[in-house]
Amino acid sequence: MKYKKSQFYILAVVIIIAVIAVLITTINQSRFTKEPTKFYDLSDQFSKETSQVITYGVYQKENIVEVVNNFSSTFLYNYTLEKEPNVELIFLYGNSSDIYLFNYAESSIKITNCPEGMEMLCLIESSRPLVLGNIKLDIGKGANIPTQSQGQFKSQPINLPKYSNKILIKVAEEDYEFNLKDENEQFLFIIKKNESGEIFVSGNI
C-alpha cells in the first residue's frame, strides 16, 4: 500500500519538475519591425504624381517651382501625414538653369565640404533640428538651410547655388546623388520615416 502511495508522489514530483522546466526554459525569439508597406506605397505614388505635376506645369507654361511646391506640401500635410505619421520629405528639383531644395524634414540641411576630389554641391542633413521663420538666407558654403515649419503650407523653396550638375546629399547617414542633365526637368526626393527607432528611407533614389 505504502509502495503505491510513494509511486504517486514520485509521479507527481516528476510532473511538477517537468512543468517547471518547460516554463522556465528560455525561448529564443527574433523580433523585427514590420516593413511599413503603406510608406513605400506613398513613396511610389508621390514619384508618379510629381512627374505628372511637372508635365502639367511644362505643358501649361506655369511656374514649375510654385506648382511643385504647392503639390508636395499638400501631398505631405493634407494626405501623407494623415495616413502615415512621422513622415519627412526632402525634395530637390532642377532644370537647365536652377536647382531648388524643398525641405520638409525636421532637421535642417547644410551645405558641406565635399569628399576629396568631388566637384559638386554637397549637402548634409544636420542632426540638430532648426526651425526658423521667415529669415532671409545667405546661402554659401557652410550656411544652414532651415526646415520649413511643419504645417506651413506654402513654404519657400531654396534656390541652391549651381556649382555643377551633380549634387550629393547625405540623409540618414546615406549618400544620394542627383545628376542633372541640362535639358531635363528632374527631381529627386527622399522620404523617411522613423518608427520605433528604425529609420526607413525611400524615394526615387
Partner 1 sequence: MKKKSVSHIENIIAFSIFLIFITFMIIYLSPLRVPRSSSYILDVASNKFQEAYSVRLKEYTLVLSSEVLSVSESCITFPAQKFEPSSPIGKYVIKNDSGVIESDLENNNIEIQKPSSRVFYVYVSEESIFSPPSADYDGCLTLSDDNYSIIQGVSFYPVSEEKVKSATDYLAVKKTLGIPDSFDFELILVDMASPDKPLLNLSKQKPITNVLAREYPLSMITSKGDIKNMVFSIKIW
Q: Which residues contact partner 1 (rule: CB under 8 A)?
A: 1, 4-5, 7-8, 11-12, 15, 18-19, 22, 44, 47-48, 51, 54-55, 58-59, 181, 183-187, 204
Cα distance between residue 163 and residue 175, in whole Å: 18
Q: How far is the CB of 190 from partner 1 (least distance, A)?
A: 15
For partner 1, the closer CB: 72 or 204:
204
Q: Minimal distance in Å, beta carbon 179 to partner 1?
A: 10
Q: Are 88 and 42 in contact (CB under 8 A)?
A: no
Please give the grid coordinates belonging to residue 75: 501631398
Cβ neighbours of residue 43 closer than 8 Å, sequence gap 6 or more: 191, 202, 203
Closest to partner 1 by CB, 54 or 101: 54
Q: Of 86 and 184, which has the nearer Cβ to partner 1?
A: 184
Min. distance of Cβ 57 from partner 1 in angstroms? Answer: 9
Q: How many CA atoms, within 13 angstroms, populate the side-chain half-sphere of residue 133?
A: 0
**Longest CA–CA separation in the chain, Å:** 104
